Amino acid sequence: MQLARAGSTTSLLRCLSNWLALGLRRPALPALLLGGALCACAGPGTAPAPGPAPEPVSGGGCARVQGLRLAPEDIGLQTRGAAVTRAAPAAAQEPGFGRFEYCALQGEIFPVDAQAPPIRFQVNLPQRWNGKAVHMGGSGFNGTVITGTGPINMALFTSPLARGYATFGSDAGHPATAAGADFALNDEALLNFAWQHLKKTHDVALQLIRRHYDQPPRRLYFAGASTGGREAFTAIQRFPADYDGIVATAPALNFAGLRLMGVRLGQASYRVPGGFLPPAKQVLVRDTALRSCDPLDGLTDGVVAAIDACRQRAPALLAALRCPGGQDAGAHCLSDAQIATVRLLHEGFSFGPYLAHGQTGYDGYNVLAGTDFSGSLGLGNSPVPAKPPSIAANGYLFATGDAYMKYFIARDPSYDALNFDFANPGPLRARINALSAVVGAIDPELRPFAARGGKVILAHGLADEVVSPNQTIGYYRSQVEQRGQAAVDAFMRFYTVPGFQHGGGTFIPFWDLLGALDRWVEQGMAPETLVATDVSAGANGRQRPICRYPFIARYKGSGDPQRADSFNCSH
């Protein structure tokens, strides 16, 4: 494996110091990952591309697009047109890049159904434009406008806008509410969330970019994580001619399977007496796995990299966790009911052949390989289900699964997902099947996108507690099985990140995935092993090689464990 040139740890720390000197308080790590201020020094694996860069295009003010209205025929899917509701000059500053100016446009795309909400969007037009654009994806059930002014979610690096990309995003066609998913009671709002907002926002944004600069972008990328990763794959599956490349991290490809897995987990926790794992036992499971599996990659550093070897230890770990006789004996062990809940998380669940594209269930998590389910997106803190279930009390997976069943499937706000019969779904079966194709991005057909030269950089944290990395691994493997390794390598690179959860974790990579994608698309420089700097608390700028799947970074046995060159990528 070729090792990309690592950035200097000293330089990164100096950059972070400069960031703090500007008065930018370092946020908590989940906030940082979701778009807080970000150090923008030249980072790991970001050697400048050879050859002269195109001259940036100078954009004018906002006057050319102020109050602009677009006709329905300007948009590729049915709407009642769109309008720019606000156009204002804006400026920002990022350490290492200095001040940059742009025109920030906000607007609405009008629905056909008067009862449906509009799609609210933002488009940012930098004064010094590099001729390229990035469509940025959302998260969860969306509902908040993706402004496009921060870094790419779960791909921490300098914001694309600071680097001269025009950026844009939307709220996917509905405002956020306390219920989270109640927008799905409206057909047009549901379809907008599922996939239509992507095309509608894309077409509006390109019209605005063209009218502002008198030319379209020469390259257009999509970048997102979680729901945004699903949106990235949806975009190239449904509209393969619209994008030149995507960055997708932790993509919720099997959206229906993910939500149904959450329902099944809720049933294991709350329908089975004693099935819920209180926070202390969630930590017990994590710590037991870490003690057993952390050293398997040659270094005890709080990061489990040798996931496959660790998963082989699962039976022994479950036996060590079990209380004598299987009865709950306190915080130091698990009852048989709690063991069953952990086993479900570990093994996944098959619930019958009623999902699209041959999917019959959802792959398990690495809960017995160090994944932490005790955090804010974990299993929750309540031994009883709230009415309705909440993320804090009952965990992210069950709360969102219950909302999906209420509003997407049953379309009944009083529906109780704990009573859903997986073996006999009855009249709900047909709707589950239909929506799994409409909302999900598990379609394996990527050949039209690949045939026109499109590129994919796919990444997933191996400690993800929300979207199972094993589901993404399964999708990637299916691509290889169907097309062969060489054909897949020609358009897709897949990286797994040990210790990286769904935003937080014991290893949070700072790495330039957009730059790697752009060099691949524009110059044919296919990425190999990348290098990331860990920005998790207490990491002190340690670096690791991020290996192409199925390789992992193993410590050589000597050398500074803070340096990437002290590791090799191997099985």
pLDDT for 58: 58
Contacts 24+ apart (CB under 8 A), 320-329: 320/288, 321/284, 321/285, 321/288, 328/274
Which ranges constitute the DSSP H helices of 108-196? 187-191
pLDDT for 492: 98
Span 517-535, average pLDDT: 98
Q: Taking a C-beta distance cutoff of 8 angstroms, is the pair 296, 382 a contact?
A: no
Quick one: what percent of the chain has pLDDT higher than 70? Answer: 89
- Say which residues have a Cβ less than 8 Å from residue 451's Cβ, sequence separation at least 6: none
pLDDT for 97: 84
User: Which position has the higher pLDDT, 300 or 13?
Assistant: 300
444: pLDDT strictly greater than 90: yes
Residue 193 is encoded by which pair of tokens?
A: 């969330």
pLDDT for 96: 81
**Closest by CA position to 206, among listed 102, 141, 134:** 134
pLDDT tens digits, 162-190: 999 999 999 999 999 998 999 999 999 99
pLDDT for 9: 38
pLDDT for 415: 97
Q: Taking a C-beta distance cutoff of 8 angstroms, is the pair 105, 147 a contact?
A: no
pLDDT tens digits, 35-74: 333 333 333 333 333 344 455 665 557 988 999 999 999 9
pLDDT for 354: 84
Residue 209 is encoded by which pair of tokens?
A: 């970019």
Residue 257 is encoded by which pair of tokens?
A: 């399977």
Catalytic residue status for 135: no
CA distance 328 to 349: 25
94-129 in b/e form (b: 16+ CB < 10 A) is bbeeeebebbbbebbbbbeeeebbbbbbbbbbbbeb
Give the chain's domains with CATH numbers: 9-45+60-253+441-570 (3.40.50.1820), 257-439 (no CATH)
Residue tagged active-site, from 402, 502, 534, 536: 502
Q: What is the amino acid identity at position 398?
A: F
Question: What is the pTM for the complete model shown?
Answer: 0.91
- ∠ CA 125-127-130, nearest 5°, is 80
pLDDT for 351: 86
pLDDT tens digits, 80-101: 999 999 999 999 999 888 899 9
Span 132-145, average pLDDT: 97
Give 77-120 as a 3 state SS string.
CCCCCEEEEEEEEEEEEECCCEEEEEEEEEEEECCCCCCCCCEE
pLDDT for 57: 64
- Say which residues have a Cβ less than 8 Å from residue 28's Cβ, sequence separation at least 6: none
Contacts 24+ apart (CB under 8 A), 276-280: 276/338, 276/341, 276/379, 276/382, 276/383, 277/334, 277/338, 277/341, 277/342, 277/373, 277/379, 278/331, 278/381, 278/383, 279/374, 279/381, 280/331
pLDDT for 421: 96
Span 487-496, average pLDDT: 98
User: Which position has the higher pLDDT, 43 or 466?
Assistant: 466
Residue tagged active-site, from 242, 244, 372, 464: 464
Local confidence band at 13 (pLDDT 50, 70, 90 cut-offs): very low
**Closest by CA position to 459, among listed 416, 490, 406, 498:** 498
Average pLDDT, the chain: 91
DSSP H/E element including 348 = strand 348-350
- Least confident stretch, 76-90, 114-128, 350-364: 350-364
Catalytic residue status for 372: no
pLDDT tens digits, 277-319: 999 999 999 999 999 999 999 999 999 999 999 999 999 999 9
Q: Taking a C-beta distance cutoff of 8 angstroms, is the pair 473, 528 a contact?
A: no
What is the separation, in whole angstroms, between the first and last Cα of the chain?
A: 12
Q: Taking a C-beta distance cutoff of 8 angstroms, is the pair 54, 131 a contact?
A: yes
Catalytic residue status for 292: no
CA distance 107 to 233: 25
Residue tagged active-site, from 226, 269, 292, 468: 226
